[in-house]
Amino acid sequence: MPPVDESYKAFRQALDSLKLDRESTLALIHIRKNEISELERFNLPEQALLPLAIMANNLDYFQALVTAHPDYVAALNPTAELNLPDTLNTTLISAIALHATDTLDALFSHPQFHTVALMQRLWYLNTPKEDLIYFLIRKGDKDSLDLFIKHHADLRDHSAIDMNFFTPLRYALQQKVNKDIIKTLAALPQQEPVCYLTAFEQAMHQPKLDSEVLTILYTHLQFPSHLALHEAVRYACFKVVNLICEKDPQKINEQSFSGQTPLSVAMGLHADQQVSMCRLLLEKGAIIRSNELKILAYCEKEIQTLIKEAYALQELKQLCETFLKTLDQRLDNPALTAHKKEKLEAKKQIVEKLQNILKNEEQPINTRLNTFSETLNQKSPILAPALFKSDTKKKTGRKVVKGVLFVLACCTILIGVGISIGLALKSKSQRGTYSFWKRRSAQFKEKAQALIPPSQRSKH
């Protein structure tokens, strides 16, 4: 370390020559902090004291000078080469390193710093040029970052996008900083640049990313409603798919601009991911459309079985909903007796139980179907007692006979209509229309008359 007197001399020579180069600056940094005030005895220009305090890393003296002389903030030093707002970046680095919160608060509160210094690139020792916000993120200093944001730091301006087009949030994800910083950055209103990946898409490329971080990103980031789930399915990011389905279940059946649902995207995945992703979506409540059924023949057998089971589950859900609506309509009848109302309510409870079994997403689809079948077999006598109990009452017997006769009558009518239609179609396909056959009949009659001998024609 050079002697203090030599440091003073080096700086004095720099002032005399109106030149402050890098070597003089580094020499000045070695001045002891408790002796910086002695510089006043050198009769230096008053406006040079604040840059001196900054360059000497004397944060306490800097804060005292700013408090006493606010106009010094925008002042140039005597060399007219080192603008004070530019040097504030260096002071910030020192204050962050020393956790000098008061000094940081004083620095961040100056409008001049925001309008000029924030737009500049800083040079900190031998590190590449970068914006202060990225230094704060990489260091993981949440307190300093909060101060920076508190004083109206606009992260949407161009200085908040680095040379790789990384926004502060994407940079934080890449650096794997603590969750509090990610949460702070995700909550800010910022614009994603047009680049290769958004912050959310970048998160999906990190398979070991904490689910809590994903929750933070999904909660705060703004993007088209269909984008997140479709992209998560396309990249086979099961963690993100689970997250979105839990937070926004209605998005599982949303269509993209091209008409694709997450399920149709999943059916186009590679074979080793196709089954798992389709099963996940179907268990979360994905609805099977006609488009998915059309491409089912081109899928693996395991997918075909899975889709068929899910389609059966979907149909049973609709039947349960229809059954419940019918029961509710009957229960609303004011003329209903108490006994009948009690029976209908018992049926409604059973149907609701069956519906809950079908909607239990914690269970696999085949397990739900099996449980549904077992429960239905147990509760069927309550749902349809006439089919499972023998009632010898005449009234019941008459109802059964009438019902059987009605069914037989309907079947007879349907069979008769079906046979008539079938014969008509067969006749039309084989012999042609009535008018055509009539013409052919006249021709055959003329030919038959020609074959009969003239002596016998009168008899025929």
Percent of the chain clearing pLDDT 70 (strictly above)? 36
Q: How confident is the model at residue 34 (pLDDT cuts 50, 70, 90)?
A: very low
Nearby residues of 240 by Cβ (< 8 Å), 6 or more positions away: 203, 204, 214, 218, 228, 232
Q: What angle do CA 164, 170, 172 make, to 5 degrees?
A: 110
Backbone angles phi, psi at 45, to 5 degrees: -55, 140
Q: Taking Cα atoms as reference points, which of 329, 282, 332, 324 lies closest to residue 303?
A: 282
CB–CB of 190/169 below 8 Å?
A: yes
- Mean pLDDT, residues 25-50 taken together: 49
Count CB neighbours of 15 within 10 A: 18
Q: Taking Cα atoms as reference points, which of 35, 67, 60, 61 lies closest to residue 49?
A: 61
Distance CA 299, CA 288 (A): 15
Crossing angle of helices 168-175 and 179-186, in 10° steps, is 160
Report pLDDT digits (tens) over 148-185: 676 555 554 434 444 444 567 767 766 667 777 777 77
Q: What angle do CA 444, 448, 451 make, to 5 degrees?
A: 140
Better pLDDT: 428 or 195: 428
pTM given for the model: 0.42
Q: Which long-range contacts link 118-123 to residues 24+ away (Cβ below 8 Å)?
A: 118/153, 118/157, 118/159, 119/157, 119/159, 120/85, 120/86, 120/89, 122/89, 122/90, 122/93
Distance CA 201, CA 179 (A): 18
Asked if pLDDT for residue 321 goes beyond 60, the answer is yes
- Mean pLDDT, residues 415-433 taken together: 55
Distance CA 52, CA 419 (A): 108
Distance CA 389, CA 371 (A): 24
Domain boundaries in the chain?
Answer: 1-129
CB–CB of 148/108 below 8 Å?
A: yes
- Mean pLDDT, residues 131-137 taken together: 68
What amino acid occupies position 163?
M
What DSSP state is assigned to residue 46?
Answer: G
Asked if pLDDT for residue 392 goes beyond 50, the answer is no
Report pLDDT digits (tens) over 60-74: 555 665 666 666 555
Q: How confident is the model at residue 110 (pLDDT cuts 50, 70, 90)?
A: low
* pLDDT the model gives residue 444: 53
* pLDDT the model gives residue 216: 62
- Mean pLDDT, residues 320-330 taken together: 84
